[in-house]
Chains A and B, each alone.
Chain A
Amino acid sequence: MPAPIRLRELIRTIRTARTQAEEREMIQKECAAIRSSFREEDNTYRCRNVAKLLYMHMLGYPAHFGQLECLKLIASQKFTDKRIGYLGAMLLLDERQDVHLLMTNCIKNDLNHSTQYVQGLALCTLGCMGSSEMCRDLAGEVEKLLKTSNSYLRKKAALCAVHVIRKVPELMEMFLPATKNLLNEKNHGVLHTSVVLLTEMCERSPDMLAHFRKLVPQLVRILKNLIMSGYSPEHDVSGISDPFLQVRILRLLRILGRNDDDSSEAMNDILAQVATNTETSKNVGNAILYETVLTIMDIKSESGLRVLAINILGRFLLNNDKNIRYVALTSLLKTVQTDHNAVQRHRSTIVDCLKDLDVSIKRRAMELSFALVNGNNVRGMMKELLYFLDSCEPEFKADCASGIFLAAEKYAPSKRWHIDTIMRVLTTAGSYVRDDAVPNLIQLITNSVEMHAYTVQRLYKAILGDYSQQPLVQVASWCIGEYGDLLVSGQCEEEEPIQATEDEVLDILESVLISNMSASVTRGYALTAIMKLSTRFTCTVNRIKKVVSIYGSSIDVELQQRAVEYNALFKKYDHMRPALLERMPVMEKVTTNGPTEIVQTNGETEPAVLETKPPPSGLQPASQANDLLDLLGGSDITPVIPTAPTSKPASAGGELLDLLGDLNLTGSPVSAPVPQIAQPPFLLDGLSSQPLFNDIAAGIPSITAYNKNGLKIDFTFERSNTNPSVTVITIQASNSTELDMTDFVFQAAVPKTFQLQLLSPSSSVIPAFNSGTITQVIKVLNPQKQQLRMRIKLTYNHKGSAMQDLAEVNNFPPQSWQ
């Protein structure tokens, strides 16, 4: 068969291909030829073939069938063969192929070869792709070569040792004795690789680190020689003597000096010298300076040195070279936490970098600017950052907006400024604001009570023109829903009040609802806002009713549900509507994880998607129950009133209404302040729909539970035969003073093992002079037949002042609970 074509021929041929397909064809043909040549076991041309194979591999074609051939080449005696063989092994083989282990023996022999270049090849290959098994086997050879006097081999052995340590960390100790003399070398190549080896060892093991600290003086001396020695043509790069070595040594010094006072002390002088003497006109000088600065910042240097370092970084910022500016910004970002004041000095330069054309620099400058914002400079910085937000690329806007919100929250000098800043961000980058910012903003707005009118007015103006930016529209709809009355009445103090009629406001909200640009979430906000306006607006209630009923048949399930419920509110529960839709109280700052502490807050934050129903009617009573909860503190007595109803929205209201229907109570209808509780069903079952208890057990003595300030409360007891764990207590409250007690409210709490049900009282006024009483029924479930204890709380108005009292009732007769 004809001699395989030379590598150059092949390359020339491939370059004549005009299309990818042609090229593929040529390569496939050649691959076939190579494969048959391999099969013929032709020694003479093998290296040529493998070279061609490597070329094709670089272009992206599969070349795995050449792996074994590489091994055969390595085993050959000729240097050319070995060279290509090793190159092929490095490019084509790796740990994952089992074939590579076959190389071990060859490498071992070559490490002991007479020709240093062959040894070099072996070291190179081992250092590039040696697997852990190979490294373990050959570490001894490498260590031997580390001690040789041949500098060519020594430097390669050092890097090979680094690779071995990376693969098999346990072997680190083996190389320790060899490192003793490494730094005494004159050859810079060896010095360089030795420093790399030392660096690797120090980074991996704290013991080694401690051990090598004693080398600091030696390193300092070497560095000094490099700087002070005159022109040395051998190592000169643009006028500086071996900058690569200087940088390496500085890096090692950094690792050695970290957290160690003595070493840092020893380095101070040389670092100052390098920092002041290095020429900065070329990139090499700047590379050294940069490394010096990083080292100074990392070790325990004295403050003068640190200031020097930051000033160097400041000078870098003014450099024309983009790379230098980039590098300076990156390092300033790292140091801004520790040396905040020093970095502040360069604030104006950093802010200028925001206007740079280079994207990488802009990003760094933005991050650094956020880190530099503090209470003093917040106004100026915000101005710059807002301007930046206006003009920057879209990929920055989301981060910038979040950053501005955070900074504004921490350092806002006044509420008005804060709201203005938020408005500005929403209007310029409205669609890039993150979703979680919307609830935070709403909460912020609720908290600044005096700014409500101003806020709603500005938001209204903002969406008048353009309602496509979703977060902006969401916040605006919410605010208009809450504070629409302020908007229409033109009450704004901070600014010229605008003339907005109810219809105009509803127009805007309706267009948001209809618009194709509105997301489903936004529509939800808008619908709820319209609904809330039904209590705040006076003349347009019918229009609102119409809008709400239309959406009752919306395709969007979320909207449909809301509309149907709001409709129900209009139709059946109109009397509850004002209470339900009244102004949200100030919200507690909620933590971002976990559910809100519903027990503590009276309002509910509006997670846009989840919030489907208006706050439950159980809200007011729950708040009073919460007061009792606070009163009782951490004792084992817990109020029976389950707080669960507040987490089940309007459905609790529904149950409540059912309860009232079933119980058929005598006495006045439920008024809001009375604590009514959703009861577990079995209590009701036990009572078999008879509200008052007729089964009277053999007379249980009644007790006076409370007698103070003219108010007396008696308890009478009844027990049921059908359900022995239930005790019914009837309280009678009488007033022996000369004035009536009005707004009387009785609340009770029992220990955890009990359950309590309070029915509605007969009235809330106790007439004076004992001329009448209030009766109220309490049902207690006591399944464990424990001693009955109760804490009661009484609130009433007497002689024009509000009175409140707490008492504990312990004198229950045994028959009432046994």
Chain B
Amino acid sequence: MINAILVFNNHGKPRLVRFYQHLAEEVQQQIVREVFHLVLKRDDHICNFLECGSLFGGSDYKLIYRHYATLYFVFCVDSSESELGILDLIQVFVETLDKCFENVCELDLIFHMDKVHHILQEMVIGGMVLETNMNEIVAQVEAQSKLEKAEGGLSAAPSRAVSAVKNINLPEIPRNINIGDINIKVPNLSQFM
């Protein structure tokens, strides 16, 4: 069973936090911080498995992580999951994100946190793996977004907002924006697949 799925960047800022176990919020945040510290210490040529029993109160738990450009994808699993299998699952997850967002980068995850959650929901329920076929997942996600769009989307504004959304064309603008001190030059994720 998967205990938690965490995605954070190289500075520890959380981009996706999903726990499949009941934990208080402070505990959740603390775990995110500690996992970040543990994972940051690892060199690139070291294996992707870490023991982390102390964090979750059981000796059974392992952290399996992969580092893609500026993001760490960390799955915390117990012994019932195959470690190598989870590595593959992380790969499938990232490839799915890539398909759904078209050349996904960190900003996509930042601005579409809810969509990322929905994609994840099509893959993992209650800590168990639901679907691993990328095309299937993408198809279902698209169908649901169509439903949403028909209703007016998250903005919940009448149809002119829909066209406004269409015009924003998000994936491109962020690459050129200098927001304050943060100068974003995010490479394409596809290089790392």
Contact = CB atoms under 8 A, between A and B. Distances in A.
Interface of A: 3, 6-8, 11-12, 15-16, 18, 44-48, 51, 54-55, 57-60, 62, 78-80, 83-84, 87, 91, 94-96, 115, 117, 123-124, 127-129, 152, 155-156, 159-160, 162-163, 188-189, 192-193, 196, 234-235, 237, 242-245, 247, 251, 283-284, 286-287, 290-291, 322-327, 357-361
Contacts of A45: 156
B20 interface: yes
Given A18-B181, A326-B49, A196 B114 contact: no
Contacts of B135: 234
Given A11-B111, A15-B179, A162-B126, A235 B133 contact: yes
Nearest to A94: B22
A189 B114 contact: no
Nearest to A287: B84
B45 A244 contact: no
Contacts of A237: 88, 92, 132
A358 B46 contact: yes
Given A6-B155, A18-B180, A189 B133 contact: yes
B29 interface: yes
In this complex, the member of B48, B89, B126, B131 whose beta carbon has the largest number of chain A beta carbons within 10 angstroms is B126
Nearest to A6: B155
A127 B45 contact: no
22 contacts: A16-B179, A48-B156, A54-B113, A62-B25, A79-B147, A79-B148, A80-B151, A159-B125, A189-B136, A193-B130, A234-B133, A247-B82, A247-B85, A287-B82, A290-B82, A324-B84, A325-B47, A357-B43, A358-B46, A358-B47, A359-B46, A360-B46
B113 A55 contact: yes
Contacts of B118: 83, 87
A160 B133 contact: no
A83 B181 contact: no
B85 A12 contact: no
Given A55-B113, A58-B113, 11 more contacts: A79-B144, A80-B152, A87-B118, A87-B121, A123-B125, A124-B121, A193-B130, A287-B85, A323-B87, A327-B83, A360-B47
Contact of B154 (A84, A124, A155): A84
A79 B143 CA distance: 12
A47 B133 CA distance: 30
Contacts of B50: 360
Chain B: number of interface residues, binned into ranges: 35 or more
Contacts of B148: 79-80, 83
Chain A contact residues, majority secondary structure: helix
B180 A47 contact: no
A7 B154 contact: yes
Nearest to B182: A15
Nearest to A199: B80
Contacts of A78: 151
A323 B111 CA distance: 33
Interface of B: 14, 16-18, 20, 22, 25, 29, 43, 45-51, 82-85, 87-89, 92, 110-111, 113-114, 117-118, 121, 125-133, 135-136, 140, 143-144, 147-148, 151-157, 179-182
Nearest to B139: A152
Contact of B46 (A44, A128, A196, A357): A357
Given A79-B147, A80-B154, A326 B47 contact: yes
Contacts of A323: 47-49, 83-84, 87
Nearest to B150: A79
Contacts of B153: 80
A156 to B, nearest CB: 6
B88 A244 contact: yes
Contacts of B87: 283, 287, 323
B85 to A, nearest CB: 5
Contacts of B181: 18
Contacts of A358: 45-47
B88 A243 contact: yes
A155 B136 CA distance: 13
In this complex, the member of B82, B87, B125 whose beta carbon has the largest number of chain A beta carbons within 10 angstroms is B125
Contacts of A245: 132
B129 A327 contact: no
A186 to B, nearest CB: 13
A96 B180 contact: no
Nearest to B177: A12
B133 A58 contact: no
Contacts of B156: 44-48, 80
B47 A47 contact: no
Contacts of A8: 111
Nearest to B17: A58
Contact of A51 (B83, B131, B154): B154
